[in-house]
Amino acid sequence: MSQLVTPISAAHTLIQAELYAFNSRTVSALFGLDKFQTCSRLDRMEHAGLVARIEQGKFLLLGLTPKKVLSNPRFIGCNLVTPAYVSFWSALHYHGFTEQVPRTTFVAITRHKREIDFREMHLKFVTMKPRQFSTA
């Protein structure tokens, strides 16, 4: 017998699992849902303001503190692609080497990805060769 899962209880489950950035497959596996049920649940959560869709199939859990998640473009950028890290001007600002706040968050990745405008953030993905990317 399936339980009735409300959008808020689903958000609490994601918070307990520490899934603040996730894709639809993760939700499907976590709740044991098929593709249609997963889309329906995520649509209800998005309508309730508990999640935000970054791009197709990728979401941010806003939960009960949306400003905390949405105020961190570094978190968002690094959770869209794996492996990834904040780089270039964005990293310089984060570590205090420049006082100028970049309007664009630069994220280094190993495969091509288009730029994303999400809410008032602009994320630019810079493709690097895998051998340049590793720290070893």
| pLDDT score recorded for residue 22 | 94
Domain boundaries, the chain: 7-68, 72-133
Rounded to 5 degrees, what are φ and ψ at 135? -100, 0
- Is the model's pLDDT at 114 over the cut of 90? yes
Length of the chain: 136
> Is the model's pLDDT at 6 over the cut of 90?
no
Position 115 scores a pLDDT of: 95
pLDDT of residue 37: 93
Per-residue pLDDT of 29-62, as tens digits, reads: 999 999 999 999 999 999 999 999 999 999 999 8
- Model confidence at 5: pLDDT above 70: yes
Assessment of whether the complete model's pTM goes beyond 0.75: yes
Please provide the distance, in angstroms rounded to a whole number, between the alpha carbons at the two ends of the chain.
51
C-alpha distances out from residue 19 to 24, 26, 80, 90, Å: 12, 9, 13, 24
Mean pLDDT (the chain) is: 88
Domain 7-68: assigned CATH number? 1.10.10.10
